[in-house]
Amino acid sequence: MGLLRYAFILAFIAFLSHFIINKLHTKLPLHFGGHVEAGYKRVREAFEQNFRDGWEPEGASLAVFVKGRKVVDLWGGYADKQAARIWKEDTVTVTFSTTKAVAAVCIAMLADRGRLKYDDLVSKYWPGFAKNGKANVTIEWVMSHMAGLPYLDTTITKEMITDHNLMRKALEKEAPKRPPGRHTGYHTFTYGWLVDQIVRHTDEKHRGIGQFFREEVAKPNGVDFHIGLDHSEEYRVARVVLPTVAGGLAEVLHDFKLGLALLKFFFAPEESPLKKSLRNSPWIDVLDKCTVNDPEQHAVEQAAAFGIGNARSLASIFNLLVNGHIVSEKTMAFLQKPVINTTDYVLNEQTVKGHGFFYYPPIRENEKHSMMGHSGLGCQQVMFDMKNKIVFAYVANGMKAREYVLCRNYMRLQNALYSALKFHSELPLHFGGYVDDGYERLQEVFERNFRDGWESVGAAFAVFVKGRKVVDLWGGYADKQAARPWKEDTLMITFSPTKAFAAVCVALLVDRGRLKYDDLVSKHWPEFAKNGKENITVDWVLSHMAGLPYLDTPITKEMATNHKLMKGVLENETPKVPPGRGTGYHSFTYGWLVDQIIRKADEKHRGISQFLKEEITGPNGIDFHVGLHASEKHRDSIIAKAMGNLPWVDVLDMYTLNSPAQQTLEQATAISIGNARSMASIFSLFVNGRIVSEKTLALIEKPVVNETDYVINEVIARGHGFYYYPPRGKFEDNLMIGHPSLGCQQLMFDTKKKISFAYVTNGLKAGAYDLCPHFIFNKFHSELPFHFGGYADEGYERLQEVTPFSPRRNFRDGWESVGAAFAVFVKGRAVVDLWGGYADKQAAQPWKEDTLMVTFSPTKAFAAVCVALLVDRGRLKYDDLVSKHWPEFAKNGKENITIDWVLSHMAGLPYLDTPITKEMATDHKLMKGVLENEAPKVPPGRGTGYHSFTYGWLVDQIIRKADEKHRGISQFLREEITAPNGIDFHVGLDASEKHRVARATQSTISEAIIDIWYDPGIAELLRDFFIAKAMGNLPWVDVLDMYTLNSPAQQTLEQATAVSIGNARSMASTFSLFVNGRIVGEKTLALIEEPVVNETDYVVNEVIARGHGFYYYPPRGKSQDNLMIGHPSLGCQQLMFDTRKKVSFAYVTNGLKAGVYDLCRNYMRLQRALYDVLEAQGI
C-alpha cells in the first residue's frame, strides 16, 4: 500500500506540474539546422515539435542512414542554454551507454580479424583474470553482461580510471557477484573497463579501447566520435543538464509507466546491484550534480559511458558496420543472433542481449529482433538494422527521466521515422544488368515500369536471340519490406511457366525415343489405365485434355512430398470430363502427372527435379530449380500481394466479362461490345426514321408502366424495352428515352428533338444514371498524362467542358479514373464525338477512336430496336401474346404474357429457377426449353421487376420466332442495322476484334466511398453485395491471402506445375538452348511447332491454343514467318520463345499482377517494345 500511496502522490504532483511546466521554459528563440531527404519531412517535423512542445528543453541531434545514404541529419536547440550557446553542426556531447555499442564494434573487428573468438575464455589472452572464480568467463559473457561483475567491491577512484594497470589489477582481484554465465546483470561501468582490457590483450599493438577506435574506425572514416576527448576539442562539447523535477513529472504524466519505473528505482534497496553499481565510482554523479560536464572525465577512455559525439557520428559508425565496411558478412550474420533473453537482475527488466548489443522489437511483425543497438542514460539512443541497412541515432544534452520506450522524445522520433520508412515507398530505384546495342529501348521501358509505379516491387527481364543473350535486366527489390534489392542472382517463384520446363523434359525423352507424344500414358505407366483413363495419351496430359483439372482427393502436403503416394492418388482418380474431348487447365495436376510420366519413361526413373537438373540446368550452368534447396532460400524474393443465376459471369469481383469467351456470346442483355459513337449512331438512325417509321416511333414514345420495380425497389417508367426519363430543362415538349447500366454506362435519345447520345466507360462506377455523378455532371485523375480525342461541332463546345473530357472537370478531378467516350447526334449529324483516358490504363493503352467497350445493359435497348423493326414490318405487335409466335411458351402460368410485358420487365421472370449454364448461353435451343419450363415468380403484368439477364434470352427467342429468316438477335442486328450502316456495334464480338476492347476496371473502395459521399443513394445499391473466396484443390497452397509459397518447405517441393524457382535469365537461357537444338533435335522442334488443340478452355473460359505442354501465341509484329510459343502464369510471369527465329525471352516479378499475358500491362509493354526492336533488327 505504501508504494501505491507514493504513486498517487507522484501522479498528483505531476498533474499540477503540467499546468506550470511551460512557465519554466526559456524564452530563447528556437534554433534548428540540418537537412532531410525527400520523404522524411515528417521526421523533421517530429524533431522540431519536441522543442515546440517543451519536451526538448536544451539541445539535440538526430541522424538516419538508409543503405549507406544519410537521409536525415538534424540538430537544434542549445549546447549550453545558460550561455545561449546554440547547438551547431559540429557540436558533440556525452552519449553515455551508447558507447557500449561502439566498444562492441571494436571487439567485432578483432573477432573478424581472427584476433579473438567470442567463446574464448578471457583468461586465454589475459591470464591474470583467471582467479577468484573468473576462470570460466568467456569474452561473450563479458559482452552479454554475464560475467557476474556488475560492480566492484573496490571503489573506483579517479587515479584508477586514468591508469589502466591499476584498473587491470582491481579487476583481476574481484570475485563474481553471481555465478558467471548463469545470469545477465547490467555492467553499468565495469563493462567499459573489462572491454578495454580485452582489447589491450588481443590487439597486436596492445592499444587501449580509445586509441584502437580512433586509429581503426574514427580517423580512417572521418567519424567525429571519441572515447577519450582531447582537451583542444572541449569547446564543442554541449553541457549536459539534468532533468528538472517539473520536467520529470511532465514525462510521468505523459506515460504513467515511467512513474512506476522511477518509483522502483528510487525505492530500490541501497544494497541492490543497481545502487551498488552507481556508487562504485563516487566521482561520477548524474543524479545530483552532473559531474559528466567535467572535461577531465571527457578525456577518460571509458567505453561504458563516456563516449563523446553527436547523432551523425554515432550513426556513421554503425552505418559502416551494417554495410560491411569494417567487418565481414560472416561476422555481421553472427552479430544478428542474440545470446540471452531473460530478466536482467540489475535492471530488473526483461532484456535481449548479445555481443555487446541490445536487441529490440522489430519495425515489422514476424521478424525476430532485427533491430539492434543501445540506449544511453537521459534518452540517448542508437539503433541499427543489419538486414535492412538502416541506422539511426539520437542524442541530447537535456537529460530525460528514462530512455527508449519510456522516453517520449525518442519514441515520437522513432514513430515518425518508422512511418517514413514504412519499408519504404521512397526507397531508391535499383537496377542492374545490360542490353546489347540496338536493344536500349527495352531497358528504358523496363525501368519506366518502375518509375511509373507499375512495377512496385521487383522484376527481371531477359532476351536471347540466336543463342546470344542480348538483354539481361533486373531491378527493384527481392524483399521490399526488408529493403533487400533484387540482385543478379535473385530467384523468384515462376509459377506456371514451370509447366513449360516440364514439357521440355518430356520433349527430351521423346527426342531420345523413350516415349512418343501419342503414346498412351498406360504404355509406360500400366497402373494408370483404370477408371476411364485407359485412352489418355501423353499429349493429352501435356495439352490439358486428360480430364483431370482437379482431383476429388484433396492434395495434402504429405502427398506433395511423396511421389509414391501421389502416384496412387492419380491412379485412382476418374476424369471429370471425357479425356480428349475438351481442354481444361490442369492447374496443379499437370505437374504431378508429368512427374510420374518422366519417372516411368526415364531409364534412370528420375523425378522431374532430378531429371531437369542433371540433363539440362546442371550441365549448362543454369540457375533454375524445380525444388529449391533450403540453403538457397536467402536468394529468393518475397511475393508481394496482388480481389446468382449466372455464376460464371462476375462483374463485382473477378470481372469475368473481360474474358474473350464471354465477349463472343450472343447475349442481348449485357454482353455487347461497342463505343459511345456506335451506340449513339444507331439511335440517330432510329429517331430519324431510318430504322422504323414515324408511326412506330410514336408508339414507342409512350411508356407502359411507371411503378416500383420489386427487384431494384425503385419507381421506374418503362416500356418497349426502354426507360423513360423526366423532361430536360425548362421545356416539357421533349421526351428522354434510353437505358442506364451497371458502372455508369448510359444511352439516351429524344424522338422529337431527334437527339441521341451515349456514354461508356471502362472505369466502372458504383452507381447508375442519376446515382452516377460522372454522367450527371459529366472524375479522372491519373499520374499518366491526360489523353483526349475527337471533336465537338460549333455550338457544342460546352459539352466538352461538362463531359469526362474537360481538362478542368472529370478527368482532372479524378472522377474518371480510366477512360470514357461521349457522342451526340442531332438530326442525323454527329455533333459530338469524344474519347479520352485509357482503354487499359494499367498498360497505358490510350482510348482510341476505334476502341470498344462492354456496354452492359444498354444492350437491352438494341434488342428493343430489333423488336421495333419487326413491329414496323408487321411481323408482330407489342400486345401480341408471346405464345402467338412461340406456342410452347404458353405453359406454367405464362399463357397471357405479351411481348410488351417482356420488353417492360413485366413477364414475372426476373430470374430463373434453373441455373443458366454456359451450354445454355451458347445454345438457343437449350435456352428455349429452359424458358418454356419456367414459371413466373410474380403474376405477369401485375408488376415490373428488372429482368437482368432473362430479358436477353426472352427477346432473342421472340426475334427468332417472328423474323422470317429466324435469325437470332446478333445476326438480326448485324444484318439489318449495324452492317448496312457501317456501325461498329456487336452483340457477340468476333474474336479477331478483341484487341480493340477496353478493359473494364473495378471501382475501387475509395472511388465507391467518394461516389457514396456524393450521393448516399448509391449505398442502397451496394447493401446486398458480399465478397466470397473459394478455396482450391490444394488448401495449403494460398497465393491470394497468406502467400504460403514463400514458405521454404513449399519451395523445396519437386512440383513441376507452379513451385519452381528461377529468374528471367535462367528461364530464357534454358529455352535459348532448346530453340537452338542444344536440348532436342530439329525433328522434335518441328513437331513441337504444331499445336494440338485450339478451343475454349472450360476452366479458364478462354480460347487457347495448346500442345505438348506449351501455349501458342499470334505471330509478332508484321511478319508472319515466326511462331511464338511459351507459357503464361499467375501474377504476370511469362516465358516466350520462337523456334524459327531462335528467340527466347522471359519476364518474372514478385510484385504479382491481377492478369496474365495480354491482360498484364507490365509484360505487354515489354513485349511490344521487344517486338518493335526485333523488327528494327530485321529479326
Instruction: Please calculate the CA angle 1142-1143-1148 and round it to the nearest 5 degrees.
Output: 150
| CA proximity to 993, closest of 825, 852, 801 | 852
Q: How confident is the model at residue 5 (pLDDT cuts 50, 70, 90)?
A: very low
CB 144 within 8 A of CB 354: yes
Mean pLDDT of the 393-398 span: 91
Mean pLDDT of the 1056-1066 span: 52
CB 781 within 8 A of CB 811: yes
Q: For 154, phi and psi rounded to 5 degrees?
A: -80, 130
Q: How confident is the model at residue 53 (pLDDT cuts 50, 70, 90)?
A: confident
Share of the chain above pLDDT 90, in %: 26
Per-residue confidence (pLDDT) for residue 134, from 0 to 100 = 93
Q: At the topology level of CATH, where does 858-1058 sit?
A: Beta-lactamase (3.40.710)
Burial 451-465 (b: 16+ CB within 10 A, else e): eeebbbbbbbbbbbb
Weakest-pLDDT range from 77-91, 684-698, 735-749: 735-749
Per-residue confidence (pLDDT) for residue 599, from 0 to 100 = 94
Q: Which residue has the higher pLDDT, 983 or 410?
A: 410
Do you know the residue count of the chain? 1179
Q: How confident is the model at residue 683 (pLDDT cuts 50, 70, 90)?
A: low
Instruction: Please calculate the CA angle 276-278-279 and round it to the nearest 5 degrees.
Output: 65
Mean pLDDT of the 974-995 span: 73
d(CA 476, CA 485): 6
- 1006: how many CB neighbours lie within 10 A of its CB? 10
- Name the range with the highest mean pLDDT among 317-326, 555-564, 1058-1067, 1121-1130: 317-326
Mean pLDDT of the 904-927 span: 80
Q: Which residue has the higher pLDDT, 502 or 643?
A: 502
How far, rounded to the nearest angstrom, does the alpha carbon of residue 338 sit from its chain's CA centroid? Answer: 31
Per-residue confidence (pLDDT) for residue 620, from 0 to 100 = 81
Mean pLDDT of the 776-785 span: 38
Weakest-pLDDT range from 32-36, 289-293, 375-379, 1077-1081: 1077-1081
Q: Which residue has the higher pLDDT, 249 or 450?
A: 450
Q: Record the pTM.
A: 0.42
Burial 1132-1163 (b: 16+ CB within 10 A, else e): bbbbbbbbebbbbbbbbbbbbbbbbbbbbbbb
Q: How confident is the model at residue 919 (pLDDT cuts 50, 70, 90)?
A: confident
Weakest-pLDDT range from 51-60, 427-436, 455-464, 622-631: 622-631
Mean pLDDT of the 149-165 span: 90
| CA proximity to 271, closest of 116, 389, 150 | 150
Q: For 938, phi and psi rounded to 5 degrees?
A: -135, 160
* Angle at which helices 98-112 and 190-202 cross, to 10°: 20
Burial 200-217 (b: 16+ CB within 10 A, else e): bbbbeeebbbbbbbbebb
Which grid cell sits at 804?
Answer: 469526362
Weakest-pLDDT range from 142-156, 482-496, 1049-1063, 1114-1128: 1049-1063
Per-residue confidence (pLDDT) for residue 978, from 0 to 100 = 79
Per-residue confidence (pLDDT) for residue 327, from 0 to 100 = 94
Per-residue confidence (pLDDT) for residue 904, from 0 to 100 = 73
Q: Which residue has the higher pLDDT, 557 or 994?
A: 557
Share of the chain above pLDDT 70, in %: 61
What secondary structure does DSSP assign to 173-196, as a single string?
Answer: H---SS-TTT-----TTHHHHHHH
- Name the range with the highest mean pLDDT among 559-573, 577-591, 717-731: 559-573
Rounded to 10 degrees, the C-alpha dihedral 1114/1118/1122/1128 comes to: -30
What secondary structure does DSSP assign to 149-168, as a single string?
Answer: -SS-SSPPPHHHHT-HHHHH
Which grid cell sits at 702?
Answer: 409512350
**Residue 34, pLDDT above cutoff 90:** yes
CB 575 within 8 A of CB 547: yes
CB 186 within 8 A of CB 149: no
d(CA 1033, CA 632): 28
Q: State the CATH class of domain 469-781.
A: alpha beta
**Residue 826, pLDDT above cutoff 80:** no
Residues sharing a CB contact under 8 Å with residue 163, sequence separation 6 or more, in sequence order: none
Beta strands in 413-566 (DSSP E): 431-435, 458-465, 468-479, 484-485, 492-493
Domains 469-781 and 858-1058 share a fold: yes
Interstrand relation of 1103-1107 and 705-708 (parallel, antiparallel or unpaired): unpaired
User: pLDDT tens digit string along 1008-1042?
Assistant: 444 444 444 434 433 333 222 222 333 434 444 33
Mean pLDDT of the 385-393 span: 86
**Residue 1116, pLDDT above cutoff 90:** no
**Residue 91, pLDDT above cutoff 80:** yes
Weakest-pLDDT range from 656-670, 980-994, 1135-1149: 656-670
User: pLDDT tens digit string along 501-556?
Assistant: 677 788 788 888 999 889 999 999 999 999 999 999 998 888 778 999 888 888 77
Weakest-pLDDT range from 159-163, 326-330, 569-573, 647-651: 647-651
How far, rounded to the nearest angstrom, does the alpha carbon of residue 215 sit from its chain's CA centroid? Answer: 46
Per-residue confidence (pLDDT) for residue 425, from 0 to 100 = 45
**Residue 215, pLDDT above cutoff 80:** yes
Mean pLDDT of the 404-423 span: 75
Per-residue confidence (pLDDT) for residue 1080, from 0 to 100 = 62
Q: How confident is the model at residue 1117 (pLDDT cuts 50, 70, 90)?
A: low
Q: For 834, phi and psi rounded to 5 degrees?
A: -125, 150
CB 373 within 8 A of CB 381: yes
Per-residue confidence (pLDDT) for residue 307, from 0 to 100 = 94
3-state secondary structure (DSSP) of residue 401: coil
CB 469 within 8 A of CB 427: no
Residues sharing a CB contact under 8 Å with residue 198, sequence separation 6 or more, in sequence order: 107, 116, 122, 125, 126, 139, 142
Q: How confident is the model at residue 641 (pLDDT cuts 50, 70, 90)?
A: very low
d(CA 372, CA 144): 13
Per-residue confidence (pLDDT) for residue 320, from 0 to 100 = 95
Which grid cell sits at 596?
Answer: 510420374
| CA proximity to 842, closest of 998, 993, 995 | 998
User: How much is the mean pLDDT over the chain?
Assistant: 74
From residue 1113, how far is each of 555, 1128, 1157 by CA, in Å?
A: 32, 10, 10
From residue 1001, how far is each of 62, 229, 819, 853, 993 by CA, in Å?
A: 45, 65, 10, 11, 19
The 3-state DSSP composition of the chain as helix, strand, coil percent (nearest 5) reads: 35, 20, 45
Q: How confident is the model at residue 500 (pLDDT cuts 50, 70, 90)?
A: low
What secondary structure does DSSP assign to 32-56, as a single string?
Answer: EEEEE-TT-HHHHHHHHHHHHTTS-
User: pLDDT tens digit string along 1128-1161?
Assistant: 766 556 766 777 877 777 665 665 545 566 765 5
- Domain edges within the chain: 469-781, 788-852+1062-1177, 858-1058
CB 872 within 8 A of CB 696: yes
- Name the range with the highest mean pLDDT among 181-185, 436-440, 1038-1042, 1108-1112: 181-185
User: pLDDT tens digit string along 332-362?
Assistant: 999 999 999 998 888 888 889 999 999 987 5
Per-residue confidence (pLDDT) for residue 10, from 0 to 100 = 46
Instruction: Please calculate the CA angle 688-701-880 and round it to the nearest 5 degrees.
Output: 105
Mean pLDDT of the 39-60 span: 89
- 543: how many CB neighbours lie within 10 A of its CB? 25
Per-residue confidence (pLDDT) for residue 208, from 0 to 100 = 96
**Residue 797, pLDDT above cutoff 90:** no
How far, rounded to the nearest angstrom, does the alpha carbon of residue 914 sit from its chain's CA centroid? Answer: 40
| CA proximity to 496, closest of 56, 1147, 18 | 1147
How far, rounded to the nearest angstrom, does the alpha carbon of residue 294 sit from its chain's CA centroid? Answer: 55
**Residue 1051, pLDDT above cutoff 50:** no
Per-residue confidence (pLDDT) for residue 884, from 0 to 100 = 96
Mean pLDDT of the 77-85 span: 84
Mean pLDDT of the 853-875 span: 72
CB 460 within 8 A of CB 488: no
Which grid cell sits at 665?
Answer: 456470346
Q: Which residue has the higher pLDDT, 361 or 263?
A: 361
Q: How confident is the model at residue 175 (pLDDT cuts 50, 70, 90)?
A: very high
**What is the rounded end-to-end Cα distance, in angstroms, of the chain?**
89
| CA proximity to 1160, closest of 1125, 1124, 1134 | 1134
Residues sharing a CB contact under 8 Å with residue 9, sequence separation 6 or more, in sequence order: none
d(CA 401, CA 6): 17
**Residue 413, pLDDT above cutoff 50:** yes
| DSSP type of residue 125 | T
Per-residue confidence (pLDDT) for residue 600, from 0 to 100 = 96
